[in-house]
Amino acid sequence: MKTSNLHSKLKKRREPVKLLILPSAAMLLFISMIPLLMLIVFSFVDGNITTTTGISGFTLDNFKMAFSSAAVPSLMAKSFYIALVVTLLCIIIGYPAAWAIAKVVKEKNRSMFVMLSIVPALVSQLLLIYSIMQLLQSGGVVMTLLEWLGICGASDSILYTTEAVILVLVYEYLPYMILCLYSCLEKIDDNVLAATHTLGAGRFRTFVDVVLPQSFSGLLTGILVIFIPVAGSFVEPDTVGGPYSMMIGSLINTQFNVSLNMGYGATLSFLLLVLMSLALALINFVMKLAERKIGG
């Protein structure tokens, strides 16, 4: 009897809390679901959408054009490939960097190193891109150093290549991976790490059995934060990659700003969103499976 009364009291206390959540839930619905519905509707629009003429009509030709085009599947595959490579490179570089900040650097200096690691994220995107272009161009600091080491010639440059696009994207998104991993690695008890070494586990075994399982949540967050925006990038390919390094985001941007075929651009955006959702579901499934296998 007392238990039922306690439950009823707790239920009554939760009701005002639920009402406080309603504004946030409504705002979330407004900024996520309504744009998504608009994207779906606009993907069936015929041609351009203007404030004066409005929507001229609806058609299925946008989807027919997308599925019959040879460029769309190629650009989709290239975008997902670049996103995968950038994400993997951020993981490979981010783990040692986050570990060094969380466990090697003295506690009083960690905040300073965290701030240094996120400096690229605090700089304007275009400023960052053009700065790296200055370094990578022929006669720049990086290419001059490579020439001095005998790796390349005086007139060589990796600008306007896919490799340059990947390099810029890694530099842009690496801070997010470091922050996501650092937030988990910092919480690992040093006594647990010391116990693994006492029991005879090497560094690799400690990483697989202790560090990796306890940092899975940060790793998954970092993958999602990097993979999604990289796959839809268009500024970096257009600026650093040149005409031969286009991604699907470049084609979508062209439809909206150059060709003024917003219906087709919305269709490509919708298809990218569907493929992105499937890719993220697959990534989440693989991560959950790996977490169960490892025992995290």
pLDDT 10s digit of each residue in the chain, 296 long?
445 555 565 555 555 666 777 788 788 888 888 888 888 998 998 888 776 677 778 889 999 999 999 999 999 999 999 999 999 999 999 999 999 999 888 888 888 998 888 888 888 888 888 888 888 887 777 777 877 777 776 567 788 888 889 999 999 999 999 999 999 999 888 888 888 878 888 888 888 888 888 888 899 899 999 999 999 999 999 889 877 888 999 999 999 888 888 899 999 999 999 999 999 899 888 888 877 777 64
Tell me the HSE value of 218 on the side-chain side, using a 13 A CA sphere: 25
Helix, coil or strand: residue 45:
strand
pLDDT in the model for residue 267: 94
Single-letter amino acid code for the residue at 113: F
Cα dihedral sign, 29-32-35-39: negative
Q: Is residue 170 part of a domain?
A: yes
Give me the number of domains the chain comprises: 1
Asked whether residue 210 is domain-assigned, the answer is: yes
pLDDT at 82: 95
Rounded Cα gap, residues 274 and 218, in angstroms: 24
Check: CB of residue 248 under 8 Å from CB of residue 76.
Answer: yes
Joined tokens for residue 285: 């499934």
Question: Shortest CA distance to 223 belongs to which of 136, 158, 286, 148?
Answer: 286
User: CB of 159 within 8 A of CB of 137?
Assistant: yes
Domain membership flag for residue 48: no
Q: What is the pLDDT of residue 136?
A: 82
Angle between helices 71-99 and 262-294 (to 10 degrees): 40
We report the CATH number of the domain holding residue 69 as: 1.10.3720.10
Residue 47 lies in a domain: no
Supply the pTM of this predicted model.
0.85
So what's the pLDDT on residue 248?
Answer: 94
Amino acid 1: pLDDT: 47
Residue 225 DSSP code: H
Instruction: Judge whether 256 and 265 are in contact, CB under 8 Å.
Output: yes
The pLDDT score that the predictor gives to residue 81 is 95
Q: Is residue 32 part of a domain?
A: no
Residue 205 included in any domain = yes
User: Are the beta carbons of 24 and 12 closer than 8 angstroms?
Assistant: no
d(CA 161, CA 70): 21
| Residue 106 forms part of a structural domain | yes
Residue 270 has what pLDDT?
94
pLDDT confidence of residue 30:
82
The reported pLDDT for the residue numbered 265 is 92
Closest CA to 174 of 90, 85, 81, 84: 90
The answer to whether residue 17 sits within a structural domain is: no
Percentages helix, strand, coil for the chain (3-state, rounded to 5) are 80, 0, 20
Question: Which range of residues forms the domain containing residue 150?
Answer: 65-294
pLDDT at 2: 47
Give the pLDDT of residue 12: 58
pLDDT on residue 268: 95
